[in-house]
Amino acid sequence: MNELSIIIPCLSSVEMLPQFIDELLVSLMSNPSDVDVILVANGGVSGISHIVHYVHKNYPWLKFEVFQRKNSSKNYGALVRLGLAYSTSRYAVLVSPYREDDVTLIFSMLNKIRTGCQVVQATRYAYPKDTKRVQLRFRVYQFVYRSLTRILLAFQISDSTYAFKMFDRLFIQALGLTQNGYSICPEIALKTLLAGGRVEYISSKYETAAINKDFKLLKEGFGYFWLLIRGFGHRIGIAWF
């Protein structure tokens, strides 16, 4: 069993993947660990064979696997669940291939999760200078979501919807992940807390990637708020989340 799987959900273009992989591997080589990389893509993504060739040519030592769904729908959560199904590592971390996430934090996250927490959540809201990098409409949405999480679930949670997170794979899979969209991100954090697990935070800068146009707030917002309703039902004893 590896210690960590780096899961990279790819919804659309692979244009930035070679540069992203180069940056990721610089970090991996400076922090030797038992790590594998799993790239998961939907059926509409082309150029995957080029990426496989690039990795095998430049990093033949890397444990690297690629899985591609037959379905071409752009469902982030379905890709995450596919990657987890093929992972055999103790921990998993979700990383965007569009250079939005600070991959240099991966090993700080790993050191933190080794202390016994179940989720290490990167947060964009620890410091004002990081918060300003996030578009205003998302900052407003996050304020509303944090407030509702506190009211409905009694949890003070900083940034549950940010996909950049590391977690105990077996613990999370035992809880059961059901979301197909980006709502799988808060599902991981909220189910962990509802099950009595521990979530720790790590401050992270966020870079907006022009190439990533897949996230639609109106489309994903329903799933996010439905999680709060289900979590509230669990809290008052109606049904398990």
- Rounded Cα distance, 101 and 162, in Å: 10
- Rounded Cα distance, 51 and 39, in Å: 10
Residue-range domain boundaries for the chain:
4-235
Along the 241 residues of the chain, how does pLDDT read in single tens digits? 789 999 999 988 788 899 999 999 988 887 767 899 999 998 878 888 899 999 999 999 999 999 998 876 778 999 999 999 999 999 999 999 988 899 999 999 999 999 999 999 999 877 676 666 777 777 788 888 889 999 999 998 888 888 999 999 999 999 999 999 999 999 999 999 999 999 999 998 766 654 455 666 667 778 888 999 999 999 888 876 7
Pairing of strands 165-168, 119-123: antiparallel
CATH of 4-235, one of 3.90.550.10, 3.90.1150.10, 2.10.260.10, 3.40.630.30: 3.90.550.10
How far does the chain reach from its first CA to its final CA, in angstroms? 29
Q: Which helix (H) or strand (E) holds 52?
A: helix 48-58
DSSP letter for 196, please.
T
Written as one letter, the residue type at 173 is Q
Sheet holding 63-68, edge to edge: 63-68, 35-41, 4-10, 91-94, 165-168, 119-123, 199-203
Q: How does DSSP assign 127-185, residue by residue?
A: SHHHHTTS-HHHHHHHHHHHHHHHHHH----S-TT-S-EEEEHHHHHHH-----STTHH
pTM score > 0.95 for this model?
A: no
